[in-house]
Amino acid sequence: MLRAAIVGASGYTGGELARLLCTHPTVTITAATSRQYDGQPLSAVFPHLRDRVDVTCRNLETAAIIDQADLIFCAVPHKTAMDVVPSFLEAGKKVVDLSADFRIKDAAVYEQWYQPHSAAYLLEEAVYGLPEIYREQIRTARLVANPGCYPTSITLGLAPLLKAGLIDPSTIIIDSKSGTSGAGRAAQVGTLFCEVTDGFRPYKVGGTHRHIPEIEQNLSDLAGSPVTVSFTPHLLPISRGILSTIYAGLRQRTELDEIMALYEKMYDREHFVRVLEPGKLPTTQQVRGSNYCDISLNLDKRTGRLIIISALDNIVKGASGQAIQNMNLMCGLDEDAGLHQAPLFP
Amino acid sequence: MLRAAIVGASGYTGGELARLLCTHPTVTITAATSRQYDGQPLSAVFPHLRDRVDVTCRNLETAAIIDQADLIFCAVPHKTAMDVVPSFLEAGKKVVDLSADFRIKDAAVYEQWYQPHSAAYLLEEAVYGLPEIYREQIRTARLVANPGCYPTSITLGLAPLLKAGLIDPSTIIIDSKSGTSGAGRAAQVGTLFCEVTDGFRPYKVGGTHRHIPEIEQNLSDLAGSPVTVSFTPHLLPISRGILSTIYAGLRQRTELDEIMALYEKMYDREHFVRVLEPGKLPTTQQVRGSNYCDISLNLDKRTGRLIIISALDNIVKGASGQAIQNMNLMCGLDEDAGLHQAPLFP
Amino acid sequence: MLRAAIVGASGYTGGELARLLCTHPTVTITAATSRQYDGQPLSAVFPHLRDRVDVTCRNLETAAIIDQADLIFCAVPHKTAMDVVPSFLEAGKKVVDLSADFRIKDAAVYEQWYQPHSAAYLLEEAVYGLPEIYREQIRTARLVANPGCYPTSITLGLAPLLKAGLIDPSTIIIDSKSGTSGAGRAAQVGTLFCEVTDGFRPYKVGGTHRHIPEIEQNLSDLAGSPVTVSFTPHLLPISRGILSTIYAGLRQRTELDEIMALYEKMYDREHFVRVLEPGKLPTTQQVRGSNYCDISLNLDKRTGRLIIISALDNIVKGASGQAIQNMNLMCGLDEDAGLHQAPLFP
Amino acid sequence: MLRAAIVGASGYTGGELARLLCTHPTVTITAATSRQYDGQPLSAVFPHLRDRVDVTCRNLETAAIIDQADLIFCAVPHKTAMDVVPSFLEAGKKVVDLSADFRIKDAAVYEQWYQPHSAAYLLEEAVYGLPEIYREQIRTARLVANPGCYPTSITLGLAPLLKAGLIDPSTIIIDSKSGTSGAGRAAQVGTLFCEVTDGFRPYKVGGTHRHIPEIEQNLSDLAGSPVTVSFTPHLLPISRGILSTIYAGLRQRTELDEIMALYEKMYDREHFVRVLEPGKLPTTQQVRGSNYCDISLNLDKRTGRLIIISALDNIVKGASGQAIQNMNLMCGLDEDAGLHQAPLFP
């Protein structure tokens, strides 16, 4: 059995790692860290996992984590992650980091959007953990930077088009909507039930959300030239799910068939990307609780724009599920081990 | 007292007309028609209105309606409306029609998106009932075509900019999200609780929603030249509310202050449009149950695009509240009579 | 105009007082206190009230409040209320206290369920603000203890039966369900959106909720002898609303007609209690945003038990609406002034 | 591989059978019937199952179903079930019937609450499929009557107490709350999103719900004498979940420890019943999507009543999950095969 540690186990992504790992055939959770819940069973922090996980939250030192695990999931916030990841690597452990700390290749860009980086020397080595694009590098990585939830939905949605050069990158506008679990489990007035339910709102409007440099890095890499996008996130009164509506102008008249063929070619053998037939549209419910990303392509002949819609569960394919997919690749396991859950509907 | 009839009283917009009119100081509901609920008190169809409305639903002939009312709200679906409106006008009644039948000035355009028009001769006379733009014409109108919910949110959001010519109309992309009451009270699998809750989905993607010709007619009128837009509607798991996120490229570099000034000038004396100060963002909860449309302006300096966000309650300012505002204007009453309800939060 | 102050304006009941008072014909909010939001307009704390309330939150001294108001709503937590109420009364002000501090007549009982009482000398004078039962005393009161939300729904539901002596009080079991606004606007993990939505849970099970002594005091007063009840509260994934399902054994076989007659007699002239005809059942949506309490009576002939169901909006009839009803009575205004809002559905 | 057919595949319980079976190691869905969706892939009826189930809905004759399956799940409404089940049995097939048709042992009782029974001769043979109580009979059954959702939550909640004779059965009052999926996937106004969301309501009040005879049959069997209960169901604005709050008077003073011991003894080796430690309370979210039933015991010393709270997912342990558990027992498979999904939270 592979021994896995969850550093930062009491947040929603920590709990989701535990939920998914408890059905993984060859991995055991051997350590779970939490300052706040030190001494409490993880199943007290997440009562749905009662009888399913048998680990107690501890406020562990780095050395203790290293002793107890072969692979470490870092599910702590950015800045905290960069403080602990180097030690794990030095001790020869594999690390999947769910924070933003190792996603941006250019330290200057990272520091512009976040804060100073104390482990920038690892940025080159870190592999961006989007298996559908960087699978081979992930297999041999020591450190995988697990992608952000919005960037995953957007990058998978645009990859075939950008690679083929069919759209004008300067026209890309991304209107994304996320479930509230993306805001985390910390007590805040803004995410109280009464503030969110039966409502809808945008936030970080006008090019200010921190996922923008990550999105642009991914799209630029695919396009082969710098891409700048408009990105507006919104908060949905649902727990799980991101749906991104992406607008892009075609460089020239192109039939939908031709575009569909690009997507089918790229994603046909993927376990976790489902390209919907023309006329079918994704919903967040269709992917809830699963590692799927569903994508739909729509051509607006009146305006010459393509509307790409992608949906995923922000704490599965957008976080913990993708982290397990990365772990599987890094450890030579079946890529879909522990990720067989069908979506939950209704 | 002004005698008002509601034709098609059993749908959500019919119920909302009744809710609002029951606090109107100078209007009484004298007739409410419904084939399905013939003989039942309106307060049995809408139990929240118990003790507040005292009218019984009847499957009335046109003549009976004419006898009992001075002003008639038509809250029946398009196509049904065009069959009854002419008789009401011939009998000298004032009509506010909440359907799409008299909104489009060009019968050919109407027929392309809907079906043949049997009363096209009234299209020229009908006044488009957006008081913030067509107030003077509404005052003297016999027939007011009450705007669609999406078009109201979008037209109010873009009007000052288009009039001033600051944006390039060909760049307009509108990503709208609507509460489920917009789908009506008819029994359908797609709007069952379990199909909608904890989920989110787009619909009518790719330039196919019937509000598009209405939106383009309004925007073209404001811009003074034909405007074609991308418009994507989405279904929110909330009862009430539309939030439109509108992207538009500026023709030239413009400061936000300058744009704010345009909006303040146009909407400063309006009862029902609230322009938010920079940095504040609308939410559907902030307008729930009220006749307000809240608007926020955001400049993305990275891309040179303006992001306008507008929010309203789709069955108040997007339907029944606006209908009452129009009635007030047509009948020489205070424009905000019966519309003083503050939004309900939480 | 009557000048009203809201002490503790930033919570949900404070916001609701402001929402209701902004349509009150003869009352103005002249002061609103908040330590946390000192210096901010109340409409920044509650953006739905933009353009509707024109008062700034201040961290005011007691003396300043006294200067600015004729009547004071105390919307601060219990224990805090008892510290400020005496000064207001000494200065000759009328007070409606929304906390629990002056509801329990017996200081020893209060102290058993809460904590020591520093103003117990006022308990005898304080009038329990349930107008349907204590209307005459309220009219002349200086200090009204505004009832709790659960006790209001339960007391109105059982009053006619207990007065008539038809049920055996020892058999009363109350299963109540409340919307989440009842938990307040303080940031807590337990009331985060993701913890509450799409879920349901009991809390304070086994006779431990602090509303129990208040419920039992009311029911004992009506029955004329001590009553002990089973009471279980539950948390609903809705913002507003309490629905209480109350079980009681009939002392002897009684027809539903006879019981209905008791309720009609007691509530017939009440503005805010709606007794539903047999077979109709209350819902929280039917009363949302209004000051109504809807009551339904159901006889289970198989078991000889009566099932009384009552529904109200916990922050209107269960808090701020009832507070305004009390203010109206205390100040000689129309009892329903400012409380004409029809329920909001859907 | 065991070949399983789903008769009535297009409802929520049909879809849930498919979701659960698609991860079952030794069962394949070989037939799925639906009149309405004849010819459509099941994954078009339930898009969340895309890439997971590979069966097409057919309006099959009984003979065709018999040809294609070893075990048949009947997920059609009561009355329809009794028309097809006899043929399946005659052809030597095993049947798990999810309707009410074979749950009630006494045909007269069935006919009093439902309608005439055309296959009453099977009632004696049919085994009531609650494995925690009737496991051994299920192992050898040809026909299992899968329990109702409410009866499962109530019977598991009360079984140890009734067997031990600690409570007075005449005092049992059950207040249950169910998610909306229990109302099925048929288009109805009453279960539209806007009618259910942000609301709560009771239904079938006063001893009229059809699950009552089933509940009383189970409880009487456990108590060893006839039991009559008060039962009130309510509709929750959630998709999945039933929470039952059960009140029962103790025959004599008993400590909680003693009662806990009874539950632990009965359920200690059960895969799917989790007895919570004192002070912990069930929630529907904690069991969502899983086959668990969580139970909590609470003693109200003030009234001498015990409050038992049980929670389960109405379409898993309350329907399709329990059906698969029964199938596993009938076919000699591991009882928990295909039922390893951990609950989904948030």
Q: Annotated catalytic residue: which of A57, A74, A149, A293?
A: A149
**Closest to A115 measured CA to CA, from A185, A183, A210:** A210
Q: Is B290 exposed, middle or buried (0-12, 13-18, 19+ CB in 10 A)?
A: buried
Q: Where are the beta strands (DSSP E) in chain D?
A: 2-7, 27-33, 57-58, 71-74, 94-97, 127-128, 143-145, 173-178, 201-202, 230-235, 242-249, 273-275, 293-300, 305-312
Q: What is the pLDDT of residue A49?
A: 98
Sign, CA dihedral D35-D41-D42-D47, equals: negative
Q: What is the pLDDT of residue C281?
A: 98
b/e burial code for range B32-61 (CB count within 10 A of at least 16 → b)? bbbeebeeebbbebbbbbbebbebbbbebe
Q: Which residue's structure tokens are 């342990």?
A: D317
Radius of gyration from C-alpha coordinates of chain D: 20
Locate the chain A residue with the closest alpha carbon to D197. A198
Mean pLDDT over A270-295 rounds to 98
Q: What is the pLDDT of residue A213?
A: 98
Q: Cβ contacts of residue A145 below 8 Å, gap of 6+?
A: A97, A101, A102, A103, A126, A127, A128, A129
Which residues sit opposite B4 in a β-bridge?
A: B29, B71
Mean pLDDT over B168-188 rounds to 97
Mean pLDDT over D140-161 rounds to 98
Q: What is the pLDDT of residue D115?
A: 97
Mean pLDDT over C255-276 rounds to 97
Q: What is the pLDDT of residue B340?
A: 93
B255 neighbourhood in chain A, CB within 8 Å: none
Q: Rounded to whole angstroms, how far apart are CA atoms B123 and D15?
A: 49
Report the run of H or E that residue B297 belongs to, with start and end: strand B293-300
Residue C138: Cβ within 10 Å count: 22
Q: Rounded to whole angstroms, how far apart are CA atoms A5 and A9?
A: 9
What angle do the packed helices B149-164 and B212-223 form, to 10 degrees? Answer: 20
**Three-state DSSP state, D310:** strand
Q: What is the pLDDT of residue C278?
A: 96
Q: Which amino acid, residue B338?
A: G
* Mutation for testing the B interface, residue in D12, D37, D181, D194 having most B CBs under 10 Å: D194
**Closest to A4 measured CA to CA, from A59, A54, A65:** A65
Reported confidence tier of residue D46, pLDDT bands at 50, 70, 90: very high
Q: Rounded to whole angstroms, how far apart are CA atoms D341 and A295?
A: 26
Distance from CA of D91 to the nearest CA of B (A): 36
Distance from CA of B346 to the nearest CA of C (A): 6
A194 neighbourhood in chain C, CB within 8 Å: 12, 180-181, 185, 191, 239
Q: What is the pLDDT of residue C343?
A: 98
Tens-digit pLDDT profile for residues C87-107: 999 999 999 999 999 999 999
- ipTM for the complex shown: 0.97
Mean pLDDT over C201-227 rounds to 98
Q: Rounded to whole angstroms, how far apart are CA atoms A228 and B92?
A: 59
Q: Rounded to whole angstroms, how far apart are CA atoms A149 and A180?
A: 12
Tens-digit pLDDT profile for residues B191-207: 999 999 999 999 999 99
Tens-digit pLDDT profile for residues B206-258: 999 999 999 999 999 999 999 999 999 999 999 999 999 999 999 999 999 99
Average pLDDT, chain B: 97
Subunit contact B193:D193, Cβ cutoff 8 A: yes
Subunit contact A207:B284, Cβ cutoff 8 A: no
Tens-digit pLDDT profile for residues C284-297: 999 999 999 999 99
Tens-digit pLDDT profile for residues A105-144: 999 999 999 999 999 999 999 999 999 999 999 999 999 9
Subunit contact D230:C247, Cβ cutoff 8 A: yes
* B196 interfaces chain D, CB cutoff of 8 Å: yes
Pair of tokens at residue D167: 């409570």
Reported confidence tier of residue C85, pLDDT bands at 50, 70, 90: very high
Reported confidence tier of residue C77, pLDDT bands at 50, 70, 90: very high
Q: Rounded to whole angstroms, how far apart are CA atoms B116 and B328?
A: 31
Neighbours of chain D (3+ CB pairs under 8 A): A, B, C
Distance from CA of B60 to the nearest CA of D (A): 23
* A346 interfaces chain D, CB cutoff of 8 Å: yes
Tens-digit pLDDT profile for residues D222-266: 999 999 999 999 999 999 999 999 999 999 999 999 999 999 999
Subunit contact A200:B281, Cβ cutoff 8 A: no
Do residues B320 and B256 make contact, with C-beta atoms less than 8 angstroms apart?
no
Locate the chain C residue with the closest alpha carbon to A190. C187
Length of chain D: 346
Neighbours of chain C (3+ CB pairs under 8 A): A, B, D
Distance from CA of B19 to the nearest CA of C (A): 6
Tens-digit pLDDT profile for residues A311-346: 999 999 999 999 999 999 999 999 999 999 999 999
Option in A189, A191, A196 nearest C185 (CB): A189
DSSP per position, B158-193: HHHHHHHT-B-GGG-EEEEEE-GGGG-SS--GGGBH
Strand order in the sheet with D94-97: D57-58, D27-33, D2-7, D71-74, D94-97, D143-145, D127-128
Do residues B80 and B7 make contact, with C-beta atoms less than 8 angstroms apart?
no
Q: Annotated catalytic residue: which of B149, B194, B293, B331?
A: B149
Locate the chain D residue with the closest alpha carbon to C233. D245
Residue B149 annotated in active site: yes
Q: Rounded to whole angstroms, how far apart are CA atoms C21 and B234?
A: 36
**Closest to A266 measured CA to CA, from A161, A168, A340, A146:** A161
b/e burial code for range D294-331 (CB count within 10 A of at least 16 → b)? bbbbbbbeebbbbbbbbbbbbbbbbbbbbbbbbbbbbb
Sign, CA dihedral A152-A153-A158-A160, equals: positive
Q: Which domains does chain C have, with CATH numbers?
A: 2-125 (3.40.50.720), 150-315 (3.30.360.10)
Do residues B141 and B96 make contact, with C-beta atoms less than 8 angstroms apart?
no
Reported confidence tier of residue A188, pLDDT bands at 50, 70, 90: very high
Distance from CA of B197 to the nearest CA of D (A): 7
* Mutation for testing the C interface, residue in D189, D238, D300, D309 having most C CBs under 10 Å: D300
Q: Rounded to whole angstroms, how far apart are CA atoms C128 and C141?
A: 10
DSSP per position, C113-161: HS---S-GGGTTTPEE--HHHHHHHHHT-SEEEPPPHHHHHHHHHHHHH
Reported confidence tier of residue C140, pLDDT bands at 50, 70, 90: very high
Q: Rounded to whole angstroms, how far apart are CA atoms B159 and B309?
A: 13
* A190 interfaces chain B, CB cutoff of 8 Å: no
Strand order in the sheet with B230-235: B201-202, B230-235, B173-178, B242-249, B305-312, B293-300, B273-275
Distance from CA of A346 to the nearest CA of B (A): 6
Record the pTM: 0.98
Catalytic residue numbers of D, as ranges? 149
Q: Which of residues 229-268 of C touch D (CB under 8 A)?
A: 229-230, 232, 234, 236-241, 243, 245, 247
Mean pLDDT over D28-45 rounds to 97
Reported confidence tier of residue A77, pLDDT bands at 50, 70, 90: very high
Reported confidence tier of residue B38, pLDDT bands at 50, 70, 90: very high
Option in D47, D274, D342 nearest A286 (CB): D47
With a pLDDT cut of 90, the percent of chain D lying above it is 100
Q: Rounded to whole angstroms, how far apart are CA atoms B104 and B112?
A: 11
Q: Rounded to whole angstroms, how far apart are CA atoms C189 and D129?
A: 39
Q: Which amino acid, residue D327?
A: M
Q: Annotated catalytic residue: which of C22, C57, C74, C149?
A: C149
